[in-house]
Amino acid sequence: MPADLPKPAAAVKRRATRIRAELAKLYPDAFCALNHDGPLQLLVATILSAQCTDARVNLVTPALFAKYPHAKDYAEADPAELEGYIASTGFFRNKAKNIRECCRLIVERHGGEVPQTLDELVLLPGVGRKTANVVLGDCFDIPGITVDTHVGRLSRRLGLTENDDPVKVELDLMAVIPQPEWTTFSHRMIFHGRQVCHSRNPNCAACTMEGFCPKIGVNDKEGATS
């Protein structure tokens, strides 16, 4: 855990405790929505999920994973053929390039195995802190805060952060969420963002946190489009 985490106000700490408890009741079994079997599959699926829905990625990956079972297979893949498998996920040329280069480095630097540290993962093409924390948390039981669009949006609305930058949001959440809960908290926030606290029209009336949520940005431009 970073030694220089921000110092949250007492009110933010108290609200975070209530949010954690409520989300745990609502989504006790929250999980990663990307279908995968092992760290390589989750790494590839998360790269594909950029600006694409998890549901769409899950439609693409069965054939993709069958065709390319190992990092070496992606590294040596014909670019056009790989692009064909992932075309429907959008930005497929760049994603195919990142996957090939990412897996080439996994083969060359890590013996074909996905590395198990944040510092090593973020050096791979197409892998940022979000992707790294997903893989670490779900495949290696190393807790991490995954700041996707849902987690960022809800964290601002719930008053857990004032930041837009994902790294700063991650640090703010690390300061108020116990480390063992980082991965499950992220999944629960994502579930709530998809089911209740929508981007454009959050269903506040159906939200069990409505009584203490500050609803920051709900009625302004940021809240309507984030």
- pLDDT computed for residue 9 by the predictor: 92
Are 119 and 169 found together in one domain? no
Is 148 tagged catalytic? yes
- pLDDT computed for residue 81 by the predictor: 98
- Residue 78 inside a domain? The answer is yes
pLDDT digits (tens, 9 = 90+) for 171-187: 999 999 999 999 999 99
- Residue 84 inside a domain? The answer is yes
Segment 119-132 mean pLDDT: 96
Percent of the chain with pLDDT over 70: 96
Is 165 tagged catalytic? no
Are 55 and 123 found together in one domain? yes
CB 166 within 8 A of CB 130: yes
Residue 21 has pLDDT above 50, yes or no: yes
Last residue of a domain, one of 139, 160, 189: 139
Are 43 and 130 found together in one domain? yes
Are 72 and 128 found together in one domain? yes
* Termini Cα distance of the chain: 28
- pLDDT computed for residue 2 by the predictor: 73
CB neighbours (10 Å) of residue 5? Answer: 13
- Please give the DSSP secondary-structure letter assigned to residue 49: T
Are 49 and 116 found together in one domain? yes
Are 133 and 48 found together in one domain? yes
Are 124 and 166 found together in one domain? no
- pLDDT computed for residue 17 by the predictor: 97
What domain range is 119 assigned to? 39-139
Catalytic residue among 130, 165, 172, 215: 130
- Residue 205 inside a domain? The answer is yes
Are 157 and 212 found together in one domain? yes
Q: Which residues contact 24 (CB under 8 A, 6 or more apart)?
A: 184, 188
- Residue 70 inside a domain? The answer is yes
**Any idea what the CATH number is for the domain that residue 162 is in?**
1.10.1670.10
Are 202 and 181 found together in one domain? yes
Last residue of a domain, one of 116, 139, 162: 139
**Reported confidence tier of residue 219, pLDDT bands at 50, 70, 90:** confident
CB 167 within 8 A of CB 129: yes
- Residue 1 inside a domain? The answer is no
Are 50 and 100 found together in one domain? yes
- Residue 187 inside a domain? The answer is yes
CB 157 within 8 A of CB 204: no
**Any idea what the CATH number is for the domain that residue 108 is in?**
1.10.340.30
Length of the chain: 226
Are 53 and 126 found together in one domain? yes
**Reported confidence tier of residue 225, pLDDT bands at 50, 70, 90:** very low
- pLDDT computed for residue 173 by the predictor: 98
- Residue 121 inside a domain? The answer is yes
Last residue of a domain, one of 117, 139, 161: 139
Closest CA to 167 of 186, 140, 187, 146: 146
Catalytic residue among 37, 54, 95, 148: 148
**Reported confidence tier of residue 5, pLDDT bands at 50, 70, 90:** confident
User: Into how many domains does the chain fold?
Assistant: 2
**Reported confidence tier of residue 3, pLDDT bands at 50, 70, 90:** low
Residue 11 has pLDDT above 60, yes or no: yes
Segment 25-45 mean pLDDT: 97
Are 66 and 123 found together in one domain? yes
